[in-house]
Structure 1
Amino acid sequence: MAAVSTRLRVRVSPGARRGGVAGRLGEVWKLRVTAPAEGGRANEAVIRLLADTVDVPRRRVSLVSGHTARDKLVELEGVEAAEVERRLAGASA
């Protein structure tokens, strides 16, 4: 049996006053992180935010592409897409 994983497109706003899930724009989830886009700090904050919001260990969240861009592709292992969508939607309310 293959392991379950979900790939998620996100647009990140680094250096925000408040971090969190800002909502959805089409197929892309908008995330705000307080960390600046310097030295990978915003990327780490994105991983932490997604892991905490979706309730998976941080080691199961990885950045696939977009390491130096606002638009990123993130993979979450061990959780189905429907569950990820439900938890992100709940966090953006």
Structure 2
Amino acid sequence: MSRPDLSHLAVPGARIAVRATPRASRDRIEAANGELRVYVTAPPDKGKANTAIRTLLARAIGVPKTRLRLVSGALSREKVFVLEPD
């Protein structure tokens, strides 16, 4: 699993925009040109991909997944998460 160090995003209230790709061959995050692309093996069925994205992103940032809240893009490839305060 490829995870870049995204600990610099661990600021309460930070808005984290990602481009999601479900049903990928493996779970990974790519950070290039100021854009985050998250690939997960989970299908986009009943929120499974959203859950997998949130878990992978939380690990890369170094925070519990409960602190990440999906605020837009639940049914889209373009998603925005907000890091909640402790």
Q: Shared fold by TM > 0.5? A: yes
2:78 maps to which of 71, 81, 84: 71
Counterpart contact for 1:11–1:72, Cα < 8 Å: yes
Deviation at 1:27, TM superposition (A): 4.2
Deviation at 1:22, TM superposition (A): 2.0
Deviation at 1:49, TM superposition (A): 0.4
Q: In the alignment, which residue of structure 2 is the partner of 1:40?
A: 47
Give, as a single letter, the amino acid of the residue that structure 2 aligns with 1:53: A
What residue ranges of structure 1 are gaps of 5+ in the alignment?
Answer: 79-93
Quote the sequence identity (%).
Answer: 37
Tell me if 1:28 matches 2:62.
no
Secondary structure at the aligned position of 2:43 is classed as coil
Deviation at 1:20, TM superposition (A): 1.1
After TM superposition, which residue ranges in structure 1, 4 or more long, deviate above 6 angstroms? Answer: none
Give, as a single letter, the amino acid of the residue that structure 1 aligns with 2:80: L
Deviations 1:19-40 (A, max 9, x none): 111223x443111011011110
Structure-2 separation of matches of 1:7 and 1:47: 13
Counterpart contact for 1:9–1:27, Cα < 8 Å: no
Structure whose CA Rg is larger: 1
What residue ranges of structure 2 are gaps of 5+ in the alignment?
Answer: 1-10
Structure-1 separation of matches of 2:36 and 2:13: 17
